[in-house]
Each structure stands twice: as structure tokens, then as C-alpha cells.
């Protein structure tokens, strides 16, 4: 066998995903079954419902991926699966499916970190060059990650409270928008103007940490005070003001990090990387910097998928890393 095929499984939250990549970088199958519709009426992901949906969808999604790739299980070099972080019950469904397949077909099994996956989604676009810096903005994480080499992650800054995506979803909820709110705020923000003055948490000079809970509270208080005074604030202007604050902090801190840590590449990763305003702002700030390459994955590789899980899995496979059948869900796994 000359080509390497890695199968990835992702079930950490509300997407059931299986993908297969060839030789570390080429997607040959990528299937995502979203459960968003089932969680919408609860205004957020319900863990028990998520697990149940994963169990129902996994076999179908597996078969679809194998069909897309036109491969046999014997062709697979390894099965890689999200070990954490995420919802424990949801993680376990993917881990158990991956274990069963690995065991019954005698294929190596590798547990991977979900955020490492988000970062490695970029390798499906462009070969990584080190050192690099990744801005990770997802529903559960907001981090600046410095990498000197493959699979070596140094978190130089992270959120002290809410993640960026979490703040988007909470503000959206306050504005009466459906879950997940990120894309709705993004759309509204482009129709409105940032007329409302909202705070930016810089957390002191030289800090690469983030905080978004104060911003979220400021939005809620502003809406409350306006209502009491009988002032009508337009949702689109609230969205534009909130988004302006988030993007200002993300871009400014990333810029300071790039100044302190000279890198060859800057990667964007995580669900909030789908944000149009953020993508545009990063392009404006970084696309013409000498010696720095900005990589922004397409929307389908920003939100949860399994191609990214196979992408980090491929690197770990090449390094000789393997998990055994004692692999367990680790909801609080560190990068």
C-alpha cells in the first residue's frame, strides 16, 4: 500500500461527522450530519439529545463516507477520533464506534484533540510552515496557539471566561435570534452600524488572554436600559456594535502576538472563523505583511467536521502515536 488513508470521526458536540483524507492533505470523503434543527427549539445543545442523534446517525455517516471514498476498510491506515474536549456522552458515541471498527478490522486507533483538529483544518488548504500562530475561535475556545513544529501546541493566550462563539450565541439569544446565533449576528452586523459604544477587554499590556463575558453583559445592560427609557435600539446596530468589539480585540491581540512571535504563517480556526467580518478584518490587517502568510479555511472546514480530525490524526500517525482500546472520552482534555 503506497497511499495513506486516514479516517476521522467527530462527535464532540452536535455534528456527526466522518471523513477520509489521503496522504495527510487530500479530502476523499467528508460527511457531516448536523443536529442543529433538533436543538434549535431548546436554544442550545441538549447533551442527551446529541448523544442519541449520534448513535442514530453514525452508521449511516460511516457508510456514506466509505462510499464517497470508494474504499474498503482494509485500505485504511488508521482511524482517528475526537477524544475531547466536548460533551462526554457525545464523545463516547464516536469513540465507541471508532474502537469497534478499529478492533474488528485490525486498524490502528488514534485519539485526537478537537482543537488540534480545528487548527489542522488549515493543512487541508496549505502545507503548514513553522513557526506559526493560530487564532482559534470556536463555541468553546478562544486561544492564540504558537507552534514550532507539527503537533506541538503552545497556548500563549486564552479566554478567561466565555469563548467568542459562546458570546455570539448568548447575545443572539438576548436579541431573540435562533441557535446557533453566530451566523445570524454576522448577517445582521453587515446591515447595521456600530453606533453603540461597547467595552473591549484588553486585560493589561502584553496580555494575549481574552474575556468576552463583560461584553456580553454590557450588551444585555444596554438593551435593558434602553427599554426602560423607551428608546428603541435596532437589533442590526446592536449586532454591528457587538461584532465590532469582538473583531477589534481578536485582530489587535493577534497583531500584537505576531509582533512578539515572528511566524511564517497565521492560521484562523474554529466555528467563529466562518464570520465574514472577522475574515475581512484579518485579510485587511495581515494579507500584505512581508514574510507572513495568512490562511483562512473555507466555511465548511471552519465549523465542526471530521476531515480536520483526520488531518491531525495523520500527523500523529506519522509520529507513531497510537491509542489502545482503553481510549476514553476526556471532556476537559488539554491541548
Least CB distance to ligand KG4 at residue 13 (A) = 6
Q: Which of 77, 122, 138, 275 binds Zn ion (CB under 5 A)?
A: 138
The answer to the question of whether 77 is labelled as a binding residue is no
Grid cell digits, residue 199: 467595552
The answer to the question of whether 54 is labelled as a binding residue is no
Q: Tell me if 281 sits within 8 A of 192, measured CB to CB.
A: no
Q: Return the closest-CA partner of residue 309 out of 97, 47, 53, 79.
A: 79
85 exposure class (CB count in 10 Å sphere: 0-12, 13-18, 19+): buried
Which residue in the shown chain puts its C-beta closest to ligand KG4?
A: 271
Is 181 an interacting residue with respect to ligand KG4 (CB under 6 A)?
A: yes
Is 84 an interacting residue with respect to ligand KG4 (CB under 6 A)?
A: no
Of 22-30, 131-139, 188-196, 285-293, the window that binds Zn ion (rule: CB under 5 A) is 131-139
25 exposure class (CB count in 10 Å sphere: 0-12, 13-18, 19+): middle
Grid cell digits, residue 209: 488572554
Is 16 an interacting residue with respect to Zn ion (CB under 5 A)?
A: no
Residues 11-30 that bind ligand KG4 (CB under 6 A): 13
Residues 241-280 that bind ligand KG4 (CB under 6 A): 270-272, 274-275
Measure the CA–CA gap between 148 and 130, rounded to whole angstroms.
5
Grid cell digits, residue 220: 444585555
Beta bridge partners of 268: 135
Is 186 an interacting residue with respect to ligand KG4 (CB under 6 A)?
A: yes
Is 109 an interacting residue with respect to ligand KG4 (CB under 6 A)?
A: no
Note the residues at the interface with Zn ion (CB under 5 A).
138, 304
Query: Which residue numbers belong to the known binding site for substrate?
Result: 136-140, 169, 182, 186, 275
Amino acid at each position: 500500500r503506497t497511499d495513506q488513508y486516514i479516517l476521522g470521526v467527530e462527535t464532540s458536540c452536535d455534528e456527526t461527522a466522518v471523513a477520509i483524507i489521503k496522504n495527510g492533505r487530500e479530502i476523499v470523503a467528508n460527511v457531516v450530519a448536523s443536529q442543529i434543527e433538533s436543538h434549535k427549539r431548546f436554544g442550545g445543545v441538549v447533551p442527551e439529545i446529541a448523544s442519541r442523534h449520534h448513535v442514530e446517525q453514525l452508521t449511516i455517516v460511516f457508510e456514506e463516507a466509505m462510499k464517497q471514498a470508494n474504499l474498503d476498510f482494509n485500505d485504511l491506515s488508521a482511524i482517528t477520533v475526537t477524544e475531547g474536549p466536548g460533551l462526554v456522552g457525545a464523545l463516547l458515541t464516536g469513540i465507541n464506534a471508532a474502537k469497534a471498527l478499529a478492533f474488528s478490522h485490525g486498524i490502528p486507533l488514534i485519539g485526537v484533540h478537537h482543537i488540534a483538529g480545528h487548527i489542522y483544518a488549515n493543512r487541508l488548504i496549505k502545507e503548514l510552515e513553522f513557526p506559526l500562530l493560530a487564532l482559534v475561535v470556536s463555541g468553546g475556545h478562544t486561544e492564540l496557539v504558537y507552534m514550532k513544529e507539527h503537533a506541538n501546541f503552545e497556548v500563549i493566550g486564552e479566554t478567561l471566561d466565555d469563548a467568542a462563539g459562546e458570546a455570539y450565541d448568548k447575545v443572539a439569544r438576548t436579541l431573540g435570534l435562533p441557535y446557533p446565533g453566530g451566523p445570524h449576528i454576522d448577517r445582521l452586523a453587515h446591515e447595521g452600524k456600530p453606533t453603540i459604544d461597547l467595552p473591549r477587554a484588553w486585560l493589561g499590556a502584553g496580555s494575549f488572554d481574552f474575556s468576552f463575558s463583560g461584553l456580553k453583559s454590557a450588551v444585555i445592560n444596554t438593551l435593558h436600559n434602553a427599554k426602560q427609557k423607551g428608546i428603541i435600539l435596532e437589533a442590526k446596530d446592536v449586532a454591528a456594535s457587538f461584532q465590532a468589539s469582538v473583531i477589534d480585540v481578536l485582530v489587535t491581540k493577534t497583531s500584537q502576538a505576531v509582533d512578539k512571535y515572528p511566524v511564517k504563517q497565521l492560521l484562523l480556526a474554529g466555528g467563529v472563523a466562518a464570520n465574514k467580518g472577522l475574515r475581512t478584518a484579518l485579510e485587511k490587517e495581515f494579507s500584505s505583511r512581508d514574510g507572513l502568510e495568512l490562511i483562512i479555511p473555507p466555511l465548511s472546514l471552519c465549523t465542526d467536521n471530521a476531515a480536520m480530525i483526520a488531518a491531525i490524526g495523520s500527523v500523529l500517525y506519522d509520529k507513531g502515536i497510537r491509542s489502545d482500546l482503553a481510549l476514553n472520552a476526556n471532556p476537559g482534555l488539554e491541548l
